[in-house]
Amino acid sequence: MQIEDLSQDNAAEQEDNEQVVHEPSDADNDQNEEQQQPTVGEERQSRYNLRQDVRRPKKFDDYEHDLDIGLLALDHQDGEPNTCENKTIQPYSYNGPNGPSHWKQQYRTGSRQSPINISLCNAVTVPVESGAHILFSEQYNLIPKEMCIYNDGNSVTLYANFGNGSRPEVSGGPCDESYEFLNACFRWGPNDYEGSEHTVDCGSYAMELQAIHVKGGRTYCTLNQAVEDNALLIISYLYQISPVDNPYINHLTSTLPRISALHKCCQMEPVPLSFFMPPFVSKYVSYCGSLTFPPCTEGVRWIVQTEPLGISITQVR
């Protein structure tokens, strides 16, 4: 098992390089050379043309909303998401004048915007002995004290409270230190095959789960603060359509009707986070990108698991 590097920068900027873990063939090992990625303009315009409205959940009404970018946590009194800072940016949506095709005019962006298309054949292989294995703490397999889901208008976000101020941690691989779990965002689209933000070899998936982590021991009132401090890690899982239900996400899908209203939050039966985001050690992509929604701040470390999980048509609808 090895890591492949997808960076568009030169070797002098190796710390920001994009990487992918997979089971390489012998031919892969002979192709450890850096390949040029599409320019940010080409990459972003392609995503805008193909998937401008992909990420709008079908269960929710088509509306725009003000994004509260405070880091959300469980309020133990009423179960509602709470923020340490009520900071609001301009409304955005995935359609119309506030859609993705206009974000580059409204917000400062650079050459490392997310999401990206992951081209596995253009990856550069790095030996697994270099420390490619990702380590997930045992808490990912434990049942949290509380769990709730929240409808922010464009996605469903899951929060878990383990009590005593403890949170699951991930380290190793491309992580420079340990990161603590914050929340997980589920994104799906208008049909059964276009829902993921990231694509692999230009192929989209029915759903993408983005597990947000922040560097251990640090506290930030906004996502922007964490990104600007190089302290934000997002681990992404891709879900493809399966002929049978995924029993591990039934607790989530059965609770969705209770949050059909904008900014609605409700408790759900706690289950281990590994039900939605199983630990892995290989077959992943890592690159330095950005938030995928306004203000599109760059400095996010992404890890994308390229082996998709299953979800049935009934569950994704």
Rounded mean pLDDT, 279-294: 88
What's residue 217's pLDDT? 86
Look up tokens 């320019």; give the residue.
Answer: 39
9 three-class SS:
coil
Angstrom distance (rounded) from CA 56 to CA 89: 19
What is the per-residue pLDDT across 139-190, written as a single tens digit (0 to 9) for each?
A: 999 999 999 999 988 889 999 999 988 899 999 988 989 999 999 999 988 7
pLDDT at 257 over 70: yes
Domains of the chain with bracketed CATH: 54-110+133-282+289-316 (3.10.200.10)
Average pLDDT of the segment spanning 62-89? 37
| 6 and 119 Cβ atoms separated by less than 8 Å | yes
Q: Parallel, antiparallel, or unpaired for β 199-200 and 117-118?
A: parallel
Q: Please, which pLDDT band fits residue 3 given cuts at 50, 70 and 90?
A: very low
The label of the residue with tokens 């380590």 reads: 135
Could you tell me how many residues make up the chain? 317
pLDDT above 80 for 123: no
pLDDT at site 153: 84
Q: What is the pLDDT of residue 128?
A: 66
Q: State the Rg of the chain over Cα.
A: 19
Q: CA distances (Å), 282 to each of 3, 63, 106, 279, in order?
A: 8, 39, 37, 10
pLDDT at residue 44 in the model: 38
Listed residue (119, 98, 82, 83) closest to 48, CA to CA: 98
In order of 26, 48, 176, 180, the CA distances from 18 in angstroms are 21, 22, 14, 22
Answer yes or no: are the C-beta atoms of 47 and 196 closer than 8 Å: no
Q: Which of 76, 63, 108, 32 is nearest to 295 (CA)?
A: 108
State whether the Cα torsion 87-47-41-299 is positive or negative: positive
Decide which of 42 and 311 is more confident. 311
Q: Which pLDDT tens digit goes with each residue over 30-73? A: 443 333 343 333 343 333 333 333 333 333 333 333 333 333 33
User: Buried b / exposed e across 46-65, counting CB within 10 Å, b at 16+?
Assistant: ebeeebbebbbbeebeeebe
Output 69-75 pairs: Cβ under 8 A, ≥24 positions apart. 69/222, 69/223, 69/224, 70/221, 70/222, 71/182, 71/214, 71/220, 71/221, 71/222, 71/223, 71/226, 72/150, 72/157, 72/159, 72/183, 73/159, 73/161, 74/146, 74/148, 74/159, 74/161
Better-predicted residue by pLDDT, 45 or 288: 288
Q: Which residues pair with 20 in a beta bridge?
A: 4, 285
pLDDT at 188: 87
Among 133, 164, 113, CA closest to 21: 133
Reference 15, options 175, 180, 170; nearest CA is: 175
Give residue-wise pLDDT tens across range 187-202: 988 777 789 999 999 9
Q: What is the pTM of this model?
A: 0.74
Beta bridge partners of 180: 169, 214
What is d(CA 139, CA 260) in angstroms, rounded to the nearest whole number? 30
